[in-house]
Amino acid sequence: MDVTRRIFAAGAATIPFVGSGLPLARAQSTAQDAPLIGNNAVADPIELATDAYIYGYPLVTMEMTRRVLTNVAAPEGKNAPMGQFANLREYPDAKFRAVTAPNADTLYSSAFIDVGTEPHLLSIPEEDGRYYLMPMLSAWTNVFAVPGKRTTGTGPQTYFIAGPGWSGSVPSGAKLIQAPTNLIWILGRTYCTGAPEDYRAVHALQDQYRLIPASAAGKPYTPPPGRVDPSVDTKTAVREQVNRMDATTYFNMLATLMKDNSPALADGVPVAKMASLGIVPGQPFDPARLPPATREAIAQAPKEAIPRIIGHMKTAGEHVNGWTFTTNGGDYGKDYLQRALVTAVGLGCNLPQDAVYPVATVDAAGRRLTGASTYVMRFPAGELPPVNGFWSLTMYDADYFFVDNPINRYSLSPRDSLKANPDGSVDLLIQHESPGPQREANWLPAPAGPFILMLRTYWPKDVLLNGSWAPPPVTRSSSATL
């Protein structure tokens, strides 16, 4: 499951949880972007309320996601109590419908932690050169630390993760990571080929990813059972739950959450403007105290803001050779609209230095990709995706689910022993029917109808990040040269 992918497939009926893999509501919009808090002085109360909604969208969504993913007594699938890892143990198949945009490259280890109560210790075992990363997200969805092969290597490591107000001494052998908010989300990913022996190897690593409260250091520790709240809706998509909230409920939750998860110091302007609407960290929000025009503006905020967030998708990424992607994710500064959009379509987004995910829904001529045609994606000799980690090309149907096929292949990557052409180029064959036994190593099976391609690039090189390299187009073809 890709509790990860940061691409925006403009116009797609279903948007993947590019990053976290949770179910999402479907949404389309042609709304035009409007001024945001901190960018322009906005006196209109509707604009103020709309901007406040957009500003707070990541914080409210993270909290609702936390409630759903931690509402269990013990780790189970993608869920685990607070302070414990939920380790996904295998890749889904074509029957899997729990989340959109699943992946067949990394197994996830996910944990929500309250480091405001006390610091926690994270232990990572010897990875023996294996690709992994342990990004840590603040309650506002910004990545503030990324232990992993790219940044800290693959040897054993221990981290002392403290809240923003903590001070004290760090245990010997541990490295301090001070979080900007009390609530944090660790969304770890460990590379796995999917072969039985590699599953066993990664499971052994996951079993050694350990979180303990600082007070338990050096002592035997058994995590307490989680608390199950029957009022938490674990069936409805998080996105839908957030988008259905009335404005009073939404802004009350936002004000409450901001008490323990303070906005960044640089966000003084939007925080002051929210205060003018009665939205103050740690204080109950009561629209009855506001003038009638402001109350009406507050009530209209969700209806105004949600189309603006989704409408931003049209301009949020680059469009090259039929592919759409962005390198603006994981750390947003004052780009609150981008942050809200990524929250909506890719919660759990990595920094671009760790992953970029181009998506294609059309071929080189701009025609919708469909299994009624055959396609070739040709990489010239020496021009496979430039990554330090790994890459893969994943096939999804029109709803971002894996495609059932006779060889149970959902993605193509170098681990499939791709065959090169005589000139050194490599053709990826994208089609519904098998190209024949001699070509199947390079075959990515497609559905009979429309489909979507996602090119995953982990630890991309600078030429990909700066635009010097772009994915080649997907070309309609009647034959291949293998």
Distance separating alpha carbons of residues 429 and 480, to the nearest angstrom: 7
What residues have CB less than 8 Å from 72, skipping those under 6 apart? 79, 80, 81, 226, 228
Examine the pLDDT at 16 and tell me if it is beyond 60.
no
pLDDT tens-digit series, residues 156-209: 999 999 999 999 999 999 999 999 999 999 999 999 999 999 999 999 999 999
Examine the pLDDT at 30 and tell me if it is beyond 60.
no
Question: How much is the pLDDT for 15?
Answer: 29
- Which pair of tokens denotes residue 132? 């992994």
Question: How much is the pLDDT for 240?
Answer: 92
φ, ψ at 319 (rounded to 5°):
-125, 110
* Residue 346 DSSP SS3: helix
Least confident of 4-18, 23-37, 48-62, 123-137: 4-18
316 against 277, higher pLDDT: 277
- The CA-to-CA distance between both ends of the chain, in Å, stands at 32
- Which pair of tokens denotes residue 89? 């143990």
Across the range 24-31, mean pLDDT stands at: 32
* Residue 71 DSSP SS3: coil
Please count the other Cβ atoms lying within 10 Å of the Cβ belonging to residue 333. Answer: 12
Q: How confident is the model at residue 14 (pLDDT cuts 50, 70, 90)?
A: very low
> Which whole-number Å values give the CA distances from 67 to 63, 111, 237, 256, 347, in the listed order?
6, 12, 12, 15, 15
What is the pTM assigned to this prediction? 0.88
pLDDT tens-digit series, residues 308-363: 999 998 888 889 999 998 899 999 999 999 999 999 988 999 999 999 999 999 99
211-214 contact pairs (CB < 8 A, 24+)? 211/83, 211/84, 211/85, 211/111, 211/113, 211/120, 211/121, 211/122, 211/123, 211/186, 212/120, 212/121, 213/83, 213/117, 213/118, 213/119, 213/120, 213/121, 214/118, 214/119, 214/120, 214/121, 214/160, 214/171
Q: How confident is the model at residue 98 (pLDDT cuts 50, 70, 90)?
A: low
DSSP state at residue 313? G
Closest C-alpha to 240, from 344, 141, 342: 344
Across the range 396-411, mean pLDDT stands at: 94
Across the range 4-9, mean pLDDT stands at: 31
Query: Which DSSP string do the residues of 348-390 spell out, in sequence order?
Result: TPPPTTTEE--EESB-TTSPBPBTTS-EEEEEPTT-S--EEEE
Q: What is the mean pLDDT of the chain?
A: 90
pLDDT tens-digit series, residues 34-88: 445 544 444 699 999 999 999 999 999 999 999 999 999 999 999 999 999 999 9
Q: How confident is the model at residue 116 (pLDDT cuts 50, 70, 90)?
A: very high
Examine the pLDDT at 97 and tell me if it is beyond 80.
no
Across the range 368-394, mean pLDDT stands at: 97
Question: How much is the pLDDT for 399?
Answer: 87
Question: How much is the pLDDT for 346?
Answer: 85
Residue-range domain boundaries for the chain? 72-216, 357-476
Question: How much is the pLDDT for 102?
Answer: 87
Distance separating alpha carbons of residues 395 and 370, to the nearest angstrom: 11
In this structure, whether the domain defined by 72-216 belongs to CATH 3.40.50.10470 is answered with: no
**Using DSSP, how many helices (H) and how many strands (E) does the chain show?**
9, 21
Question: How much is the pLDDT for 20?
Answer: 36
Quick check: 89 and 203 in contact, CB under 8 A? yes
Across the range 428-453, mean pLDDT stands at: 97
**What CATH number does the domain located at 357-476 have?**
2.60.120.1600
Quick check: 434 and 443 in contact, CB under 8 A? yes
Beta strand segments in 262-419, E: 318-320, 323-325, 355-356, 359-360, 375-379, 387-397, 411-412
Q: How confident is the model at residue 28 (pLDDT cuts 50, 70, 90)?
A: very low
What residues have CB less than 8 Å from 312, skipping those under 6 apart? 33, 337, 338, 340, 341
